[in-house]
Amino acid sequence: MNPVRLHRITIIACAALFGAAACASRSSHPDPDPVPARVYTPRPASHEEEVTLIRADSEVFAAVVRAQLRASNDEYPYHIDELRYDPRPYGSRNGYPEMSAGVQGAAPELYFAKAGKDAIDQIAANRKIILELRNVPEGSPFNYPQCAGVGVPQPPPTRRGSSRPKVANVHAGCPKKPEGYVTVGLPLRGQPEGLKNIRDTKGDLVDLDGDVWTVLVDESIAGPEGWRRTQHAWIFKRSRWTGRLDLAATIQTGIVE
């Protein structure tokens, strides 16, 4: 046999053996399990941080109530005669939102470390005092199971002579006059990124600076024509003249009807 050809066969055989060994080695060492994604766990707040949060919440909540009482019927926020506030932040048991608001930068833990139960209870207690001083009632959510949303159309009427039962009015179980239930979230320092350069309820682009605070306000309104649930971000800016937080803009972030 030609020596050159024999040398080539030897190289090919060695390469084949090396490849087989490499495959065997690879199969004997399976890929490592994927590393699970890290879950963000909010840091517990210190006592000093909880005191700061409590003070900020009282000021912002008082500003919300003050703005609501000054509201008119012409533009949002609207004036509601039958209105009650839930003193618990977000209306939840632990004082934190049960679901994300879907707004970038609106998680309260991004602004203040997570407060404990005693601090949340103190926040709710302070809110009750603010409501009492303003003669605004507090209360729990209303429940009208036979009341459909304002966006639900009436079913077509039953044809004359039809054996179908009479169609019920989907709003027959609604209250005779409008009433509202409001929850207010924890204060967010500044204007969240997801709300910058967004048009507010007046149609203006909003990008505020200075001493600015944002809070999410959820309103459930029920009346003769059905119910509607909305969420708005209320943005406050401190006045240079009075030193108080004044409502600067409101941005709708959600609606269900």
Q: φ, ψ for residue 76 (rounded to 5)?
A: -70, 140
Q: What is the pTM of this model?
A: 0.80
Instruction: Average pLDDT across each block of 10 residues of the chain; the chain has 257 residues. List them in order.
Output: 44 42 48 58 90 98 96 89 92 91 86 96 98 94 90 77 70 91 97 93 94 96 93 96 96 91
The pair of structure tokens assigned to 197 is 């350069």
What's the pLDDT at 18? Answer: 41
What's the pLDDT at 38? Answer: 53
